[in-house]
């Protein structure tokens, strides 16, 4: 008999053996193999340990208001905007690390919009103005980063007014 631990399909035979569902002839063959194969013997032993633990395990009692709490959570989730539910569905997504990037994008967009209509009036190749605007943009970005880096509890009172 070949080793059953090598193949997941053959490993199903080991589970059948643990459940005593094998034909007596096959079970006898398997027992002879178990006597000489530590890998298969360990699998049988591990499976028996899991089943014994499950036999002993008792699920905890459900609290009286379980259904009420479950339904209120479901209603809360359904009341949430769809885009927020989609964001939560993305694994590893957190909005806080994205805030500085969002602030930088907003600053660049603001500069682009502010500059947009005037851009056609300026002569082409005016490098002095471009340098000034880049400096302003960088200082705006710096200011925004300081704002987003502030702790939430100091910015909370400002939001109320």
CA distance 58 to 100: 49
Which of 31-39, 88-96, 120-128, 136-144 is the region at the interface with Zn ion (rule: CB under 5 A)?
31-39
Q: Using CB under 5 A, which of 30, 37, 44, 107 touches Zn ion?
A: 37
> Which residues does 134 contact at the CB level (< 8 Å), separation at least 6?
none
Question: Judged by CB under 5 A, does residue 5 bind Zn ion?
Answer: yes
Interface positions, 130-159, toward Zn ion (CB under 5 A): none
Question: Which member of 14, 40, 44, 144 binds Zn ion (CB under 5 A)?
Answer: 40
Spatial CB neighbours of 16, under 8 Å, sequence gap ≥ 6: 22
**What does the CA dihedral 129, 135, 140, 145 come to, rounded to 10 degrees?**
160
| 7/132 with CB nearer Zn ion | 7
Q: By CB under 5 A, name the binding residues for Zn ion.
A: 3, 5, 37, 39-40
């Amino acid at each position: 008999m070949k080793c059953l631990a090598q193949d997941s399909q053959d490993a199903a035979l080991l589970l059948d053996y643990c459940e005593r569902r094998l034909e007596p002839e096959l079970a006898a063959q398997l027992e002879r193999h178990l006597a000489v194969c530590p890998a298969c013997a360990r699998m049988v032993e591990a499976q028996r340990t899991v089943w014994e633990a499950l036999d002993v395990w008792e699920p905890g009692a459900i609290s009286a208001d379980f259904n009420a709490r479950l339904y209120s959570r479901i209603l809360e989730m359904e009341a949430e905007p769809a885009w927020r539910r989609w964001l939560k569905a993305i694994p590893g997504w957190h909005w806080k690390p994205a805030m500085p990037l969002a602030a930088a994008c907003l600053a660049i967009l603001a500069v682009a919009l502010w500059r947009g209509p005037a851009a056609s009036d300026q002569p082409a190749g005016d490098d002095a103005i471009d340098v000034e605007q880049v400096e302003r943009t960088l200082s705006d970005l710096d200011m925004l980063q300081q704002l987003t880096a502030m702790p939430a509890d100091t910015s909370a009172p400002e939001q109320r007014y």
